[in-house]
Amino acid sequence: MTQLCKIVPERCIACGLCNVYAPQIFDYDEEGIVLFTQNKKAHQQFIQNEQKEQVLLAYKKCPTRAILLEDLSS
């Protein structure tokens, strides 16, 4: 199943947990607000199968729900 990850920078409190659990997916701007590593201007991206576990853990650990996950059925 394809998974779409969305970020909501306005909810981010710059705690750093998403980068701890999925550093290849999540990065930060100069204020510590969440960004995607590969496309810093994007607010959503598809997650590769090999990254799903790490992204799910980052999603679960985010205290403000600045990371959202959506399963897309084909």
The confidence score (pLDDT) of residue 73 equals 67
CATH of 2-72, one of 3.30.70.20, 3.30.70.100, 3.10.20.30, 3.40.50.1220: 3.30.70.20
* The CA-based dihedral angle spanning residues 61, 63, 67, 73, taken in that order and rounded to the nearest 10 degrees: 60
| pTM recorded for the entire structure | 0.89
Beta-strand ranges (E) seen in 1-74 are 2-7, 26-28, 34-36, 44-47, 67-72
pLDDT along the chain (74 residues), means of 10: 92 96 95 94 94 96 97 75
